[in-house]
Amino acid sequence: MAGSTLASPTASVPIAAVRARPFSPGREAWRRFRRHRLALASVVILALMVLMVVLGPLVWRVPINDIDFTARLSPPSWRHPFGTDDLGQDLLARMLYGGRISLAVGLAAMVVAICVGVLIGAIAGISRGSVDAGLMWLTDLFLSLPPLPVLLLVIYLFRDQLKDVFGPEVGVFILIVVVIGGFRWMPVARLVRAQFFSLREKEFVEAARALGASTSRQVARHILPNALGPVIVAGTIDVAAAIIAESTLSFLGLGFPPDIPTWGRLLYDAKDYLDFAPHWALFPGAAIFLAVLTINFIGDGLRDALDPRKVL
């Protein structure tokens, strides 16, 4: 935790040594990130996955909904590298298509959750008194709402309007991202607020304040960068939760139309066939697993790289 580390463990390093190798902050972060081997490998794997889902459908041109009853539940082969499901639809094509949606939903929902969480947490953390109390009441309120019934309500209220404006797929995408993001910002906001409480009393912030830095400058340049470590970790966990939450919604009939194969939906459809067609569940399961794991490692690496007080 940034708040519990000593303020400046690097103070004893001779100033001359730092001057000798002037790194830009970005390069410095990259240098530090590279030291985290797992994070580096994760970046490569995640980049590969993203490339595959973005470019894959251009190369693997099998339609996602081509029903072929003669090839039902066939195991992986050259014709169907990932095998087929029980309607004989090619799983590789469905995985590639579904990956676009699952990854996009996961990342976008995380961005929404982090943005809202950081904003609310930061405002609450820096402004004492009634604003802080009010915002935390709001956070508690959202935490105490039962998510599923509220989701149902929101979706019933706004689904048709969004569909009319953006079309069925984009409309549902926006709705799901907002809804999932809108229900996952509370832990982030609490984390950020707690960090702010501790950081704003630190010497370097006091020094900045003494030098006449405005509140917004204190927050943006001094407190927030130091508070981001735990936020990034929380955000990476949110990606996984968002991918799973999307499949829950699809299962309840509130997410994407049933013929759109997101990873969560593929996994759900496959669950009853686990004992005799394991490939059907293994591939989407492995994809979700890999995506979540790599994003977590990257978050780990990023936290180390961006924490200015950690020596690497």
Partner 1 sequence: MNEKRLRLLVGRVKDGKMSRRAFIARMLALGITAPLANEMLASGGVARAQERFPYKPTKRGGGGALKVLWWQGATLLNPHFAVGTKDQDAARIFYEPLAGWDPDGELFPVLAAEIPSRENGGLAPDGMWVIWKLKRDVAWHDGKPFTADDCVFNWEYARDPATAAVTIANYRDVTVEKLDSHTIKVSFKKPTPFWADAFVGTRGMLIPKHLFEDYKGDKSRDAPTNLKPVGTGPYKFVDFKPGDMVRGEINQNYHEPNRPHFDSIEVKGGGDAVSAARAVLQTGEFDYAWNMQVEDELLQRLEKGGKGRILITPGGAIEHIQLNSTDPWTEVDGERSSVKTKHPILSDPAVRQALGLLVDRKSVQDHIYGRTGIATANFLNNPERFRSKTMKFEFNIDKANQILDAGGWKRGADGIREKEGKKLKLVYQTSINAPRQKNQAVVKQACQRAGIDLELKSVTASVFFSSDVANPDTYTKFYCDIQMYNTTMTEPDPELFMNQFVSWEVATKDNKWQGRNITRWRNEEVDKAYRAAQGELDPVKRAALFVRVNDLVCSDHAVIPIVNRPKAGAVSNKMRLEISGWDNDLATLKDWYREA
Residues that bind partner 1 (CB under 8 A): 65-67, 69, 72-73, 86-87, 89, 156, 168, 251-254, 257-259, 269, 272-273, 275-276
Q: Give the nearer residue to partner 1 in terms of CB position, either 73 or 237.
A: 73
Task: Give the nearest distance from C-beta 253 to partner 1 in angstroms.
Answer: 4
Q: How far is the CB of 64 from partner 1 (least distance, A)?
A: 10
**CA pair distance 202, 74, nearest whole angstrom:** 62
Output 172 or 231, the one with its CB closest to partner 1: 172
Contact criterion met (CB below 8 Å) for 310 and 41: no
Smallest distance from the beta carbon of 179 to partner 1, in angstroms? 16
Which of 140, 272 has the CB closer to partner 1? 272
Q: Of the two residues 68 and 304, which places its CB atom closer to partner 1 in the complex?
A: 68
The minimum distance between CB 254 and partner 1, in angstroms, equals 8
CB of 258 to partner 1, least distance (A): 4
Give CA angle at 192 (213, 248), nearest 5°: 145
Alpha helices in 127-255 (DSSP H): 130-144, 147-166, 168-182, 186-199, 203-210, 215-217, 224-251
CB of 87 or CB of 178, closer to partner 1: 87
The shares of helix, strand and coil residues in the chain, as percent rounded to the nearest 5, are 75, 0, 25
Residue with smaller CB distance to partner 1, 17 or 275: 275
Contacting residues for 42 by C-beta, under 8 A, at least 6 apart: 293, 294, 295, 296, 297, 298, 301
Amino acid present at 116: V
CA angle 8, 13, 15 (to 5 degrees): 105
Query: Which of 172, 303, 289 shows the shortest CA–CA distance to 234?
Result: 303
Q: How far apart are CA 91 and CA 62, in angstroms?
A: 10
Smallest separation, CB 71 to partner 1 (Å): 11
